[in-house]
Chain A
Amino acid sequence: MTRNAVPEHVPQNLVRDFSIYTSPGMERTPNGCPHAAMGYVHNFPPIFYSPSNAFDGGGTWVVTRAEDQRRILGDPATFSSRRGHFEKSMGEEFVIVPLESDPPAHTFYRTLLNPLLSPKRVEAMEAGARERAVRLIEAFKAKGSCEVMNDFAYPFAVGVFLQFLGIDESRRPEFLGWADELLHGTNEQRQAAMKIVAGFIRDLVEQRKGEPTDDFISFLLKASVEGRALTDPEMVGMGVLMFVGGLDTVAMAIGFDLYHLAREQKDQARLRADHDIIRPAVEELFRAYATITPLRRVTQDTVFDGVPMKKGDVVSCPTMIANRDPSEFPEPDRIDFDRENNRHTTFAYGPHRCIGSHLARRELIIGLEEFLNRIPTFRLKPGEAPITYGGYVFGVENLVLDWT
Chain B
Amino acid sequence: MKIKVDFKKCQGNARCWSLAPDVYKLDDSGYILDGDIEVLPGQEAVARRGARACPERALTVEGED
> Closest approach, in angstroms, between the C-beta of A123 and any C-beta of chain B?
10
Interface residues of A in 309-350 (CB under 8 A from B): 340-345, 347, 349-350
Give complex CA distance A345, B15 in Å: 12
Contact B29–A283 (Cβ < 8 Å): no
Contact A358 to B14, CB < 8 A, known contacts A120-B28, A342-B52: yes
Number of B residues near A (Cβ < 8 Å) is 17
> Closest approach, in angstroms, between the C-beta of B23 and any C-beta of chain A?
13
**Which residue of the partner chain, among B13, B19, B49, B53, contacts A347 with CB atoms under 8 Å?**
B13
**Which residue of the partner chain, among B12, B17, B30, B53, contacts A342 with CB atoms under 8 Å?**
B53
Contact A119 to B14, CB < 8 A, known contacts A280-B19, A349-B55, A358-B30: yes
The digit string for B20-58, where 1 denotes a CB below 8 A from any CB of A, is 000000101110000000000000000001001111000
For A207, list chain B residues within 8 Å (CB).
Answer: none
Give complex CA distance A118, B28 in Å: 6
For B15, list chain A residues within 8 Å (CB).
Answer: 283
Contact A114 to B30, CB < 8 A, known contacts A119-B17, A357-B14, A358-B14: yes
Contact B53–A343 (Cβ < 8 Å): yes
Contact B52–A283 (Cβ < 8 Å): no
The digit string for A343-370, where 1 denotes a CB below 8 A from any CB of B, is 1110101100100011001000000000
For A114, list chain B residues within 8 Å (CB).
Answer: 12, 29-30
Give complex CA distance A203, B21 in Å: 40
> Closest approach, in angstroms, between the C-beta of A317 and any C-beta of chain B?
14
Contact B52–A340 (Cβ < 8 Å): yes
Q: For the complex, is A115 an interface residue (Cβ under 8 Å from B)?
A: yes
The digit string for A89-126, where 1 denotes a CB below 8 A from any CB of B, is 00000000000000000000001001101111000000
Contact A118 to B11, CB < 8 A, known contacts A279-B19, A280-B49, A342-B53: no
**Which residue of the partner chain, among B11, B12, B30, B53, contacts A283 with CB atoms under 8 Å?**
B53
> Closest approach, in angstroms, between the C-beta of A361 and any C-beta of chain B?
6
10 nearest CB pairs, A to B: A118-B30, A114-B29, A343-B55, A341-B52, A119-B30, A119-B14, A340-B52, A118-B29, A115-B29, A119-B26
